[in-house]
């Protein structure tokens, strides 16, 4: 890797010593470094847009051509502003920003160093590169929580992919590399880092992005983890949208989650990541409850009798004017006469009393 700071380079007035470069993206280089006083290893992200700057190998400073100064400075300002916002976010699933500073003609973000492996590595180890549904739920749930927190601050990641998700030995998931992130107030078309295979149309265009953009990329990841391969890219679907999710054996609610997230038109997608994930299997199971009319105890909606007092949870007609409880899953015809007789002994009078009290 060329143009990186060399091992042993001292930055921020001697506070950090560079170990080596961990990786490079379109907008920067990430290093492993050591906090010299605390003797603590950290990750440091250097703002270095390859299109607009180059390294002076003698000093290590970045040099920006005059013609590129304006766009470089705008990007640098965003990098620092977003670093300050991320530094205020304390969430277990978002990489922690510990410090930021400017020198050498650019800016640096100091972050916690995550000792783990990428979701991409986990996928590559699986048969057919697929994960179990329970594992997928864990991963997407953690990402949804992380993104909801970040979105609340007006920041969107815009480069969600398995390579930017780290997993640790104690089963912690951490979303990293906000190098492509943008604030909601950004306007106009700007040069942007993204991954073509996952990016929605608005990210490809570099404008009008938002929470819907991250939801699209989550949908791409969800499809990949379930099927073992990505759906067609957005750039291909723009000109010939012949993607048919029915060709894959998706079960509900996965199918609905994927279809709603992968709408080509941004306004057709959910705009709130938490609302989108409300259709997940676990949340659907926990919300499919019904309260007993007699004792108000919570019961699974599939139960016919209250597990607390024994009262029937079925719809009962008292007279033609009695308002029926609204529960389409419960039908009067489901009540067997023998079951109803038992219910009379266990709780019907209590149930009837509650109805009379309501009138």
**210, 62: one domain:** no
Residue where the block lists tokens 């969800």: 222
What do you get for the CA distance between the two ends of the chain, in Å?
78
Structure-token pair, residue 127: 């048969």
**95, 147: one domain:** no
**156, 18: one domain:** no
**322, 201: one domain:** no
255 lies in which domain range? 116-284
- pLDDT on residue 245: 79
- pLDDT on residue 126: 94
Cα(312)–Cα(334) distance, integer angstroms: 11
Write the DSSP symbol of residue 182.
E
SS3 307: coil
Write the DSSP symbol of residue 133.
H
Nearest of 308, 314, 311, 319 to residue 344 by alpha carbon = 311
Cα(272)–Cα(275) distance, integer angstroms: 5
Structure-token pair, residue 188: 């106009």
The answer to whether residue 307 scores a pLDDT higher than 90 is no
- pLDDT on residue 283: 55
- Check the annotation: does 45 bind a ligand: yes
Is residue 292 within 8 Å of residue 313, measured between CB atoms?
Answer: yes
- pLDDT on residue 345: 45
**159, 276: one domain:** yes
Structure-token pair, residue 72: 């470089």
In CATH, what number is assigned to the domain containing residue 243? 1.10.510.10
Within a domain: residue 40? yes
Number of compact structural domains in the chain = 3
In CATH, what number is assigned to the domain containing residue 61? 3.30.200.20
Structure-token pair, residue 328: 């389409």
Within a domain: residue 234? yes
Q: End of a domain among 77, 112, 147?
A: 112
The answer to whether residue 70 scores a pLDDT higher than 80 is yes
For residue range 32-64, list pLDDT tens digits in order. Answer: 999 999 999 999 999 999 889 999 988 999 999
**171, 293: one domain:** no
Least confident of 50-54, 64-68, 140-144, 336-340: 336-340
- Enumerate the β-bridge partners of residue 291: 298
């Amino acid at each position: 890797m060329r143009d990186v700071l060399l091992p042993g380079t001292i930055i921020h007035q001697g506070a950090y010593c560079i170990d080596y470069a961990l990786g490079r993206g379109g907008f920067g280089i990430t290093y492993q470094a050591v906090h010299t006083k605390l003797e603590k290893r950290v990750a440091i992200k250097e703002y270095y847009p390859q299109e607009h700057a180059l390294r002076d190998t003698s000093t290590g400073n970045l040099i920006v051509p005059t013609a590129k100064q304006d766009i470089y400075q705008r990007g640098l300002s965003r990098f620092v502003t977003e670093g300050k916002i991320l530094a205020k976010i304390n969430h277990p699933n978002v990489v922690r920003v510990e410090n930021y500073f400017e020198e050498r003609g650019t800016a640096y973000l100091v972050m916690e160093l995550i000792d783990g492996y990428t979701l991409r590595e986990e996928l590559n180890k699986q048969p057919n590169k697929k994960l179990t549904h329970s594992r997928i739920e864990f991963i997407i749930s953690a990402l949804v929580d992380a993104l909801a927190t970040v979105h609340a601050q007006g920041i969107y990641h815009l480069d969600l992919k398995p390579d930017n998700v780290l997993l640790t030995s104690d089963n912690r998931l951490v979303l990293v590399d906000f190098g492509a992130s943008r604030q909601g107030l950004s306007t106009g078309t700007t040069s942007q880092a993204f991954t073509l295979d996952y990016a929605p149309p608005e990210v490809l265009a570099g404008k009008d992005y938002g929470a819907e953009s991250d939801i699209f990329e989550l949908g791409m990841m969800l499809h990949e983890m379930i099927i073992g391969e990505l759906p067609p890219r957005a750039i291909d679907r723009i000109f010939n949208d012949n993607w048919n999710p029915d060709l894959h054996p998706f079960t509900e609610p996965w199918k609905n989650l994927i279809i709603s997230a992968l709408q080509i038109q941004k306004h057709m997608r959910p705009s709130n990541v938490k609302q989108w994930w409300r259709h997940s299997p676990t949340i659907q199971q926990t919300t499919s409850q019904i309260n007993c009319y007699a004792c108000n105890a919570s019961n699974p909606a599939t139960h016919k009798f209250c597990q607390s007092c024994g009262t029937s949870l079925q719809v009962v007609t008292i007279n033609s004017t009695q308002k029926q409880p609204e529960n389409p899953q419960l039908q009067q015809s489901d009540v067997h006469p023998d079951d109803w007789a038992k219910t009379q002994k266990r709780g019907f009078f209590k149930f009837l009393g509650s109805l009379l009290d309501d009138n």
